[in-house]
Amino acid sequence: MEMPVEKKNLLQKFIGWREEHISEKHFILIISFLVGILTAFAAWILKLLIHQIETFLTENFDVTQANGLYLLYPVIGIFLTGLFVRNIVRDDISHGVTKILYAISRRQGRIKRHNVWSSVIASGITIGFGGSVGAEAPIVLTGSAIGSNLGRAFKMEHQTLMLLVGCGAAGAVAGIFKAPIAGLVFTLEVLMIDLTMASLLPLLVSCVTAATFSYITTGMEAMFRFHLDNPFVVERIPYAILLGICCGLVSLYFTRAMDSVEDVFRKYSNPYIKLMIGGAMLSILIFLFPPLYGEGYSTINLLLNGQNLDDWDNVLDNSFFYGHADLLLIYLLLIVIFKVYASSATNGGGGCGGIFAPSLFLGCITGFIFARFCNQFDLGPYIPEKNFALLGMAGLMSGVMHAPLTGIFLIAELTGGYDLFLALMIVSVSAYLTIIVFEPHSIYSMRLAKKGELLTHHKDKAVLTLMNVESVVENDFAKVSPEMDLGKMVQVISKTRRNVFPVVNGKDELLGIVLLDDIRNIMFRQELYHRFTVDKFMVSPPAKIHTNDSMDIVMRKFDDTKAWNLPVVDEDGKYVGFISKSKIFNNYRQVLVDFSAD
């Protein structure tokens, strides 16, 4: 939608006034303040929407028996979300954090305008109707979109846009969880925004602003109530390490299983087939295991605050397991196994949501199962179930996101469990060290890493990621045909300064190349002009670059072949141009200057 001319002129006047009266650094702080407020407001709207829908649909359920409406609600939610996305948004809005990473890596921080509101509505409908996903990733995408579009409106350069994307993400985490430190750390660890003095202050402003807004609107208490009844003691350190290893393995299972199930859904292009498969899978799982309904935060609160079996047995409410307290551990273990399928079915079937909440949910249950199992079979000193449920949340988040610092600070701020800080560190680090043995990338970044589109803290790789093949292709090389004789070849050589010539057929497909050095000894012998044709002295290029190759792959081909120029072809094998090392180096230097500028 185009901005009206009057508003556009007014904005231009404001930008001119701002450039004269407000410095760039100060204006970035002002925008980061606005980003924090707007992002926290969006988070408040989303949580309110989810709560209202869920309460309206489920408040009259009988806790003593299974409820058939669990078979219906999730399907309706995914169906409505799919209609909204296909007919109104008309764009893919799933995998919010992955989209932010892609925007930073490949789009210079530009995120589409509809992401300011579309994820809020879509995820609100999905989760309110029972989708087994979280609201946090959609609101992180919303916050980043707010930062990106505010920056674009005020004509900020792309380094600043990337910073504002980070401010939006940090503000989203800080606002929805009331966790300002976790918001900052999440942006540094997961989005991989470089920490410099120029970036630290705007990120802090957004985090503090968003958290303050949330405190004003929802109260000062932490998101999850937690009271420490049993302080952490040295004797439990080995058990904390073991819990971390368990969380790392569960994280690996969650990551691999989700990727595999989503691959299955990607094979189908018809949205109604996806709805049928995903809706059936999700509704059956929720019918059998009601804690899978929505974000699962009520189950987390139950396990963090329960004192005995009478409290914990409430997890069995609304299910066929109601009244069978002896099956509690088996019931929770089945939930750990099937949660990943419920979350994958939600998104794969057409819903919208993230894996923040599933990570916290699974971590809490994993920690509780670990402690309850140890206590039930007397495997050492008493292990407080509620403490280890809290520690498990940090462990799963650290493993799934590959972000141990985020796991530590987020759980401490979420629950007020600062007295368990050492234990949080032990479990988070153990979980992270366990999963990286098997999986080098987080669930967010593995898709981009496979395509070579992931921006990392490794400066060389980050700069190469910001480059692309199109930006370094040169197409002023003179093309020749295989039937052309040496005389005509000499005429072509006389009109160009290049020493490499692509040989193409009538369909413009690359057949080979002619190197000037290879024909230098015969090119001045006129008696040979009509005896030799190009196909006699052309050679195969040492390697071909494809237009969809990442720059990392391009550099590897140059290193392997020791060539100075390599031809570029499209997916049909048609000639596009050449890439030279000198062009890459010049482009690399320019991107490095832009990337490193504060």
For domain 234-447, the CATH superfamily is Clc chloride channel (1.10.3080.10)
**How much is the pLDDT for 589?**
59
**How much is the pLDDT for 82?**
92
Mean pLDDT of 194-212: 86
Q: Where do the structural domains in the chain lie, given as residue ranges?
A: 18-218, 234-447, 461-596
333 pLDDT exceeds 90?
Answer: yes
394: its two tokens? 């940090």
Residue 580, strand partner residues: 565
The 10s digit of each residue's pLDDT in 130-153 is 999 998 889 999 999 999 999 888
Portion of the chain with pLDDT greater than 70, in percent = 91
292: its two tokens? 């899978």
66 pLDDT exceeds 70?
Answer: yes
Cβ neighbours around 494 below 10 Å, total: 8
Nearest CA to 226 among 389, 421, 365, 408? Answer: 389
Nearest CA to 452 among 580, 548, 543? Answer: 548
For domain 461-596, the CATH superfamily is CBS-domain (3.10.580.10)
459 pLDDT exceeds 50?
Answer: no
**How much is the pLDDT for 591?**
58
Instruction: State how far the Cα of 327 lies from the Cα of 321, in Å rounded to an integer.
Output: 8
User: What proportions of the chain, in percent to the nearest 5, are helix, strand and coil?
Assistant: 65, 5, 30
**How much is the pLDDT for 451?**
53
343 pLDDT exceeds 70?
Answer: yes
Query: pLDDT: is 568 or 3 the higher one?
Result: 568
CA 132-138-139 angle, to 5 degrees, is 120
Mean pLDDT of 164-189: 91
For the domain 18-218, what is the CATH code? Answer: 1.10.3080.10
Nearest CA to 182 among 195, 194, 169? Answer: 169
Instruction: State how far the Cα of 51 lies from the Cα of 59, in Å rounded to an integer.
Output: 11
Asked if the domains 18-218 and 234-447 are classified in one and the same CATH topology, the answer is yes
Cβ neighbours around 597 below 10 Å, total: 10
- Containing 579, the helix (H) or strand (E) segment is strand 575-580
CA 227 from chain centre, in angstroms, equals 33
CA 361 from chain centre, in angstroms, equals 19
The 10s digit of each residue's pLDDT in 88-129 is 988 877 777 777 777 776 666 788 889 899 999 999 999 999
Q: Is 22 helix (H, G, I), strand (E, B) or coil?
A: coil
Cβ neighbours around 571 below 10 Å, total: 8
- Containing 566, the helix (H) or strand (E) segment is strand 565-569
The 10s digit of each residue's pLDDT in 215-248 is 999 888 888 888 888 888 889 999 999 999 999 9
31 pLDDT exceeds 90?
Answer: yes
453 pLDDT exceeds 60?
Answer: no
Q: Give a three-class secondary structure readout of 471-520.
A: HHCECCCCCECCCCEHHHHHHHHHCCCCCEEEEECCCCEEEEEEEHHHHC
Q: What is the mean pLDDT of the chain?
A: 85
Instruction: State how far the Cα of 385 lies from the Cα of 418, in Å rounded to an integer.
Output: 17
Mean pLDDT of 186-213: 85
Q: What strands lie across the sheet with 545-546, from one edge to the other?
A: 545-546, 565-569, 575-580
Burial 145-178 (b: 16+ CB within 10 A, else e): bbbbbbbbebebebbbbbbbbbbbbbbbbbbbbb
Portion of the chain with pLDDT greater than 90, in percent = 43
Count of alpha carbons within 13 angstroms of residue 215, beta-carbon side: 15
422: its two tokens? 């050492």
Determine the number of helices (DSSP H) and then strands (DSSP E) in the chain: 26, 5
